[in-house]
Amino acid sequence: MRYILFCRKDYSVYELNRVELLCDTCKRSCQQYVAVRQQLIPPDAVRLRYRTQLSTLIATIVRSGAKADLRKC
């Protein structure tokens, strides 16, 4: 497990065998993980499902040198 928040005082876990500091660090890390996770936007299901096809289509259009008709937009 990788800890996001790791303060200098947490090094005393190894030196002084103080496990409660490690528990505090783990709790802080979990809280930050939950906060970041809640801010994430869920992925677009259509884009995920057709990602390869969309990439191929766009690459084909770009390589063909097709011109866009902006008057139709």
Please give the chain's pLDDT, 73 residues, in tens: 454 555 555 555 566 677 777 788 788 889 999 999 999 888 888 888 999 999 998 899 888 887 777 676 5
The pLDDT value recorded for residue 70 is: 66
The pLDDT value recorded for residue 72 is: 66
The pLDDT value recorded for residue 25 is: 79
Say which DSSP state 67 is in. Answer: P
Q: How many domains does the chain have?
A: 1
Residue 41 lies in a domain: yes
Structure tokens at 16: 């002084």
Classify residue 23 by burial, with Cβ atoms within 10 Å: 0-12, 13-18, 19+: exposed
Residue 56 lies in a domain: yes
The pLDDT value recorded for residue 21 is: 72
Residue 73 lies in a domain: no
Q: Are 22 and 10 in contact (CB under 8 A)?
A: yes
Please state the pTM of the whole predicted model. Answer: 0.40
Structure tokens at 72: 């139709």
- What is the Cα 2 distance to its own chain's centre? 15
Residue 48 lies in a domain: yes
Q: Which domain holds residue 23?
A: 8-67
